[in-house]
Chain A
Amino acid sequence: MSILQEVELLKRIPLFANIETSKLKLLAFTSERLNFRAGEVVCEQNEMGDSAYIIMQGEADVLVSAGGEPFRVATLKRNDFVGEIAILCDVPRTATVRAKTDLVTLRITKDLFFRLITEFPQMAVEIMRVLAQRLEKTTKDASRAEQRVRELEEAASPDPS
């Protein structure tokens, strides 16, 4: 895949939809294309990260472990953007990303990422939108989980009557 093809792919990602071609070329040219085999880990939960990834081909699982066995919280596919939280707020990776199939990614370093969002506000807005959607989903999940916990508690506790 050449840079020009990569640029074509990037254009289809909503995040980059409104960005000039020359900037996308810059993004593609200064980013490393990184292949992962099925099963290889893209990033590890709790480790510090210095880059984010755009998935160009293949699928990846997002796994979270809270003390015990890791469980899958999402599956990423083509055009998805992952790993931006760790570089945005300098926190350790919040989840492990593991290639589900053979995976082709574009690795965007922290420097480049910050440069792009400071120069192209539309990109920052787009990222905000994506993050907000995730937050909304997380909140929904959380309230549903809470609901479920309450139900279970009620079921388990003896009838007061």
Chain B
Amino acid sequence: MQKNIFGFVWKYSKREQIYILFLTVLSFPILYYTLELPKIIINEAIGGTEFPQTVLGVPFEQIEFLFVLCGAFLALVLINGGFKYYINVYRGRLGERMLRRLRYELYTRVLRFRLPRFKRMSQGEIIPMITAEVEPLGGFVGDAYALPAFQGGTLLTYLVFIFIQDPVLGAAAIALYPLQAYIIPKLQWHVNQLGKRRVRAVRELSDRIGETVAGTQEIHAHDTSSYHLADAADRLGTIYQIRYEIFNRKFFIKFLNNFINQITPFFFYSIGGYLVIKGELSFGALVAVLAAYKDLSGPWRELLNFYQRTEDARIKYEQVVEQFQPADIQPEAQLMDEATFAGPLPQEVSFANVTYVEEGSIPAVEGLSMTLPLNRHVAILDAGGGGRDELLMMVARLLVPTSGRVRLGEHDMAELPEAVTGRAFAYVGQGPYMFSDSLRANLYYGLKHRPVAEVAYSADEEAARRRRIMEAEIAGNTVDDINADWVDHRSAGAASAEELSAQALEILSVVEMAEDVYRLGLNGSIDPAANTAAAENVLRAREAIRERLNGDGMDEALVELFDADRYNTSASVAENLLFGTPVGKTFAPDAMADHPYVLSVLAEVGLSEEFLRIGTEVAEMMIEIFADLPPGHEFFEQFSFISSEDLPDYQPLVARVRKEGTAALRPEDRSRLMSLPFKLVVSRHRLDLIVDTIQERILQARRAFAANLPEDLRGSVEFFDVTRYNTAATIQDNILFGKVRYGQAGSQDKVQALIAEIVDALNLRTTVMETGLDMSVGVAGSRLTSAQQQKLGLARAMLKEPEVLILNEATARMDAAAQQRIGDAIRTRFQGRGLIWGVHRAGMARDFDEVIVVRDGKLTERGSFSGLRDRTGSALSAMLEGE
């Protein structure tokens, strides 16, 4: 990368810069004529006497001549404006392309950083550099050469003019320029230094903010908010001081500039005046020079401003770029090289006198020489002092040795492209990272090396895509299509996408995550249009459940089924009235009492006053029960119909209703009270407010609601219909088509068991699990437990079908029994392939072909498990004893 922004600009936009310069020069004559024409209009059209005047061979009288000239002037103004518009757009586009290139280059470099670099450089530093800090550089790029040329040219023209009028005055005009040119950069240098400090300070601040977000749990657990506030205040104070000083100095430079500019007229008046009085200079010339000097200050100021902007841009560029050029950066070719291995993968990795040490710490691995077979199962144990993690990561080429060589067969691993190491090897650490995407995307992540199938675009899309490719090429970006199919199912040994999906489900059961995915899937939804057979199958499951629940035995009390003609006491009033699932916010439970259509339906069946009365009673009850609790108590969240902030507002409301009746209520208060009954669930809340007669009328309202629903609201609710798949509800709700009854011990578990039974009987499990695979894992996998994340990480690595699987305590967060079972399953699956497993307990090494024990970064012993165990004084036997 170029160390200097001008170098960067010149290297990637020579042609464009020259073109802009050319356009700028071209605009000078037009500019000149827009200045020249007014003179002609005044002197020759308005003040002229010789008519007719001939223009292009056509004779014109005075009035006509005036209009012709004015027309020409208008045309010139338009052309001049158009020129400027074109140049500005061109410059802007150039700037954006260069900014895109710069950001892309920086991002590429982030990918090329070696792992240890991220120990020294945090997210909080990297992100603002690529996003905010380089942003102003885009605007600068378009101006980099054109602006000084244009303003410099203008300045020169005026100076020449002044010198022609009088050399002495000319000399006076520029007398102070050398001074300015000397002092200003000196002063500016200090500002630049401050600018650098400011950039660093802001970067550190954003780093701290990032830490606060990441460590928020610790902050609250240890009551350290004040400490962090003080730290933030201190940093903000530093930034304030730097900025304040920058302002001081900047404005001082401005003051000095202005002063020097103002002092020049002093010379004009004194020297020029003296010359005029002495008769050595005409009065007219002095006026002309003064006018010219006034025009001179514009470009001069622009140039000085530009100088300051340049300095700003230069510092920003340098400060960013120096962070992105570490000496040990990975060569780009290593990431992008497509070369795969010719012939079979060598069967061993050899370490020759390998040392790995990180800056400023003790060596993690020291002088290690050994060979690791890649076709057997090896357990690596750490007897203390570390080194095992680094060793495993070097085998996976995630780290490269500080000295010595790690070789794969004959090849130096440090030289191999990632197309080899990232496909033949799979590494899973303790905390595999989950991308904020679906489970499926995370599982297939290891197969997305290169796009494998282009998207079939329509003609229009194709054209748009081609424009995007062109732009990407201009800015030096990759032209790989993110919308293409990146999942290479063949590299997982699957013949088709469907087979890959089946394989993924199978691997999920190996890591014991199938049940979790099934549960997720039950809470997901399918698109019946895209998946008709699955939707029909769900409906069959619904029928089967209904048969079971309507039959005799224990099941019928578990679920209260939806029935268009019956009030469902396990569902809320809102659900009973809607008799469907709200789509969007229109008929969401909280919004119902405010919706005019709902209110009109209630009025129609005579429920308005009843709801108001019930609402008042609920409010009264809530006040009685919850008024004594401290605000914000968790019970409000869990149980109350009214939040702790709103509760005090209800007290006077209820009092007013009790005193004056409901007629005195304001509309917004009515709506507040009306909203409460909607949340009532008869069998859960047991308040005896929604009595039989009210239930009867809610059923009437249900029918009226559906019958008269205006066309434009149809899309806001998906009605319960026993013969149709409900797209707005989850698969589980679709199968159940009812509500689990309250108050029956263990009913949730029994219902789950019943659903599972029917799902299996109808072969629905795959459908449900496929749906589960499409559920999001949340930000960085936040919706998964840490054990689930580990399982998914293992599944991801196994789905890739690597030739060598390297695990580093990859099951440590699971319970002991699961560790044993999953470990066995993985070993069976990798029979005949390489498995190198850094285990955290010595007992886990029992079933491996070979055991290696490291201590203090050195190999201490190696052999079969039983051999080492039975040798007296071996590290393994000592570790086994400790367990």
A interface residues with partner B (beta carbon < 8 Å): 1-4, 6, 22, 25-26, 28-30, 32-37, 40, 42, 111
Contact = CB atoms under 8 A, between A and B. Distances in A.
A29 B639 contact: yes
B226 interface: no
Given A3-B686, A6-B686, A22 B743 contact: no
A25 B624 contact: yes
A32 B743 contact: yes
B240 interface: no
29 contacts: A1-B686, A2-B687, A2-B688, A3-B685, A3-B686, A3-B687, A3-B688, A4-B688, A22-B625, A22-B628, A25-B621, A25-B624, A26-B625, A26-B626, A29-B625, A30-B635, A30-B638, A30-B639, A32-B742, A32-B743, A33-B743, A34-B743, A34-B744, A35-B744, A35-B745, A36-B745, A37-B745, A40-B745, A111-B634
Contacts of B873: none
B690 to A, nearest CB: 11
Interface in B546-568: 554
A35 B554 CA distance: 13
B746 interface: yes
Contacts of A35: 743-745
Nearest to A4: B688
Contacts of B634: 111
Given A3-B687, A30-B639, 10 more contacts: A2-B688, A4-B688, A6-B686, A22-B624, A22-B628, A30-B635, A33-B742, A33-B743, A36-B745, A37-B554
Nearest to A32: B743
Contacts of A1: 686
B745 A34 contact: yes
List of 6 A-B pairs having minimum Cβ-Cβ separation, nearest first: A2-B688, A36-B745, A26-B625, A33-B743, A3-B686, A30-B639
A33 B745 contact: no
Contact of B746 (A4, A22, A40, A111): A40
A25 B686 contact: no
Nearest to B744: A35
A30 B746 CA distance: 19
A37 B685 CA distance: 21
A111 B639 CA distance: 13
Given A26-B626, A30-B635, A30-B639, A2 B686 contact: yes
Contacts of A33: 686, 742-743
Contacts of B743: 32-35
A42 B625 contact: no
A29, A33, A42 interface centre (most CB from chain B within 10 Å): A29
Interface of B: 554, 621, 624-626, 628, 634-635, 638-639, 685-688, 742-746
Contacts of B621: 25, 29
Nearest to B554: A37
Nearest to B627: A22
A37 B746 CA distance: 11
A42 B746 CA distance: 10
B693 to A, nearest CB: 16
A26 B638 CA distance: 12
Contacts of A29: 621, 625, 639, 685
A89 B521 CA distance: 39
A111 B625 CA distance: 17
B625, B635, B744, most chain A CB atoms within 10 A: B625
A32 B746 CA distance: 13
A28 B742 CA distance: 15
Nearest to A29: B625
A15 to B, nearest CB: 19
A42 B742 CA distance: 16
A4 B554 CA distance: 29
Contacts of B688: 2-4
Contacts of B742: 32-33
Contacts of A4: 688
A22 B687 CA distance: 14
A32 B554 CA distance: 21
Contacts of B638: 30
Nearest to B626: A26
B660 to A, nearest CB: 25
Most buried by A among B639, B688, B743: B743
Contacts of B685: 3, 29
A118 to B, nearest CB: 13
A120 B745 CA distance: 29
Q: In the complex, which of the residues B688, B743, B745 has the most CB atoms of chain A within 10 Å of its own CB atom?
A: B745
A35 B745 CA distance: 6
Contacts of B745: 34-37, 40, 42
Contacts of A26: 625-626, 635
Contacts of B624: 22, 25
B823 to A, nearest CB: 28
A119 B673 CA distance: 31
A60 to B, nearest CB: 12
Contacts of A2: 686-688
Nearest to A31: B639
Contacts of A32: 742-743
A40 B745 CA distance: 8
A26 B686 CA distance: 13
Contacts of A42: 745
B239 to A, nearest CB: 45
Contacts of B639: 29-30
Contacts of B746: 40
A36 B750 CA distance: 13
Contacts of A36: 745
A157 B564 CA distance: 78
A103 to B, nearest CB: 8
Contacts of B635: 26, 30
A147 to B, nearest CB: 40
A46 B698 CA distance: 47
A26 B685 CA distance: 12
A34 to B, nearest CB: 5
Contacts of A6: 686
A36 B554 CA distance: 12
A32 B124 CA distance: 47
